[in-house]
Amino acid sequence: MRSQKRLTCWLLAQSIVTVEYPNDENKNGYKKLFKKQTSGKRIQPAQDKTNDADYQLRLDAGESIDGEKNVYLQVNTEAKNDVLKKFKKKHGAHANLATGVIDENTPEADQKEVAKEFWSGLKEEAKGNFK
């Protein structure tokens, strides 16, 4: 089981990176984090069955108060990885694997670095949920 958890953490990290940069043409995918979205709506990847199965994870927008937006990393219903499926079964389809807060008013020049810090925090929190 330990090797399965290590594999899942690796897959998780890869999925998060893939969600951050959904394709080679969109290296500025991190900018979506800073856009205003309706609470409960998908940030990335675009919602469709193929993306949901391929990425296995999604970022949903939460409430935004004074430009501070909550962001939720959740497991997709179509997830294929055993550990992700167990997490979803135990905690439910809308359980948060990790949460973060992003300042929607971050100056464009700082967004890439802020996004990297945000992703780093999400990865660590999500990995902690598998220990």
pLDDT at residue 77 greater than cutoff 60? yes
Residue 38 lies in domain = 2-128
Sheet of 96-103, strand order: 42-44, 57-65, 68-75, 96-103
Average of per-residue pLDDT across 62-86: 90
What confidence tens digit (pLDDT) does each residue in 80-112 have?
A: 888 888 888 898 878 899 999 999 999 999 998
Distance CA 15, CA 102 (A): 20
Confidence (pTM):
0.80
pLDDT at residue 22 greater than cutoff 70? no
pLDDT at residue 78 greater than cutoff 90? no
pLDDT at residue 29 greater than cutoff 80? no
Number of domains making up the chain:
1
